């Protein structure tokens, strides 16, 4: 009887010890993390501005962590291919998604269905930077300001053509929203990519172009295009002389951005660690300057919950824009 009781007590003790160790595993894992390379899935091609930005931050973190941060490019399908892969990746703290505005916010409004859920499939980690769009004109266009462009368009309705990447791309939707906000009737001309849209505007085949600041900056520096407005809520560093649309049209604030998210279920301790270290890298003056050159503006450190609120606000903002321009998902 005594032996039986002793055996029972031993079994109970072993069971409690096992549960205690099991409960301690996440903590131990987070303390040991990273013990192997970390993967960042990117839904943009190699060499694009998001890719260069991601590799800049990844390189600094690789040095900090003593483990390589691998940028895994999975472009295509308007960011759907990369987003789907990231959503289905193991939530083990070693898989992340370097996400764009399209992947997490605008895609649900342009697709009838998606093979991933932007809200439920990802845990917010850190906001990397915001990338405002720039409205610019060919040098032959006499307008030196947005007000002059509006007056020119009204004097010659339907004569000015605006180049963009397509009706359901970020730039295309912004261009349509610009027409609605200002009352202009810019003819929307879609292109297969940013480069041909810019090139045709420089050549004068189109008169207006609206693309990201990162893509636009080299053309502005070389004097090939004249910037007249930015789509951010305030003026952009490096283009302080270019007014924000919000100065004339309060509330008009639509910018692209990059955010780091993880598959839902990733350890909160690891998410906090990554958030802290990413913010440390982004606060470095050399990194911050390079990001500005690439068109991504870092606005200071933020916690994962700050990014969660930002994404919530962005979805409300984009729902209004889509309604305003009458966009129908396909």
Instruction: Give the residue-averaged pLDDT of 315-325.
Output: 90
Domain stops at, among 248, 274, 291: 248
Structure tokens at 256: 């692209």
Q: pLDDT tens for residues 154-174?
A: 999 889 999 988 888 888 898
Split at pLDDT 50, 70, 90, the class of 19 is very low
Instruction: Give the residue-averaged pLDDT of 98-103.
Output: 93
Examine the pLDDT at 149 and tell me if it is beyond 50.
Answer: yes
What sign results for the dihedral spanned by CA atoms 151, 152, 155, 157? Answer: negative
Output the pLDDT for position 279: 97
**Which of 38-42, 140-144, 193-197, 278-282 shows the lowest per-residue confidence on average (mean pLDDT)?**
193-197
Residue 220 has φ and ψ, to the nearest 5°, of -70, -45
Residues 297 and 217 in one domain: no
Domain stops at, among 248, 277, 296: 248
Structure tokens at 267: 């350890």
Question: What total of structural domains would you count in the chain?
Answer: 2
Residues 118 and 139 in one domain: no
Average pLDDT across the chain, whole number: 89
For residues 209 and 197, what is the distance between their CA atoms, to the nearest angstrom?
7
Examine the pLDDT at 98 and tell me if it is beyond 60.
Answer: yes
Q: Which of 310, 267, 272 has the alpha carbon at shortest distance from 95?
A: 267
For residues 129 and 40, what is the distance between their CA atoms, to the nearest angstrom?
16
Domain stops at, among 199, 215, 248: 248
Range of the domain at 261: 31-131+257-325
Q: Residue 11 falls within a domain, yes or no?
A: no
Output the pLDDT for position 30: 66
Q: Which of 50, 48, 58 has the alpha carbon at shortest distance from 129?
A: 50
Output the pLDDT for position 171: 85
Q: pLDDT tens for residues 224-270?
A: 999 999 998 888 878 899 999 999 998 888 888 999 999 999 999 99
Q: Residue 200 falls within a domain, yes or no?
A: yes
What 3 state SS string does 264-285 have? CCCCHHHHHHHHHHHHHHHCCH
Residues 118 and 264 in one domain: yes
Split at pLDDT 50, 70, 90, the class of 329 is confident
């Amino acid at each position: 009887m005594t032996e039986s009781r002793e055996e029972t007590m031993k079994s109970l003790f072993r069971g409690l010890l096992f549960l205690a160790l099991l409960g301690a595993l996440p903590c131990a894992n987070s303390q040991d993390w990273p013990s192997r390379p970390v993967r960042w899935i990117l839904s943009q091609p190699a060499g694009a501005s998001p890719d260069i930005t991601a590799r800049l931050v990844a390189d600094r973190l690789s040095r900090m962590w003593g483990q390589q941060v691998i940028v895994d490019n999975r472009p295509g399908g308007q960011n759907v291919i990369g987003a789907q892969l990231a959503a289905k990746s193991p939530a083990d703290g070693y898989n992340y998604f370097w996400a764009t505005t399209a992947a997490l916010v605008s895609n649900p409004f342009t697709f009838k269905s998606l093979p991933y859920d932007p809200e439920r499939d990802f845990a917010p980690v850190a906001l990397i930077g915001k990338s405002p769009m720039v409205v610019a004109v060919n040098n032959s266009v006499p307008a030196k300001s947005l007000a002059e462009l509006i007056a020119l368009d009204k004097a010659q309705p339907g004569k000015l053509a605006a180049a963009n990447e397509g009706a359901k791309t970020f730039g295309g939707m912004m261009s349509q929203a610009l027409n609605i906000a200002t009352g202009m009737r810019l003819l929307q001309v879609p292109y297969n990519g940013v480069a041909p849209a810019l090139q045709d505007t420089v050549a004068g085949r189109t008169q207006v172009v609206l693309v990201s600041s990162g893509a636009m900056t080299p053309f502005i520096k070389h004097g090939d295009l004249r910037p007249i407005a930015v789509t951010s809520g305030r003026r952009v560093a490096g283009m302080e002389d270019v007014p924000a649309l919000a100065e004339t049209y309060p509330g008009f604030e639509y910018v692209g951005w990059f955010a780091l998210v993880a598959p839902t279920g990733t350890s909160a301790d690891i998410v906090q660690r990554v958030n802290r270290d990413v913010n440390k890298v982004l606060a470095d003056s050399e990194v911050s300057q390079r990001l500005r050159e690439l068109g991504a503006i870092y606005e200071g450190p933020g916690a994962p919950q700050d990014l969660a609120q930002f994404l919530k606000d962005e979805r409300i903002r984009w729902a209004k824009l889509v309604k305003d321009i009458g966009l129908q998902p396909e």
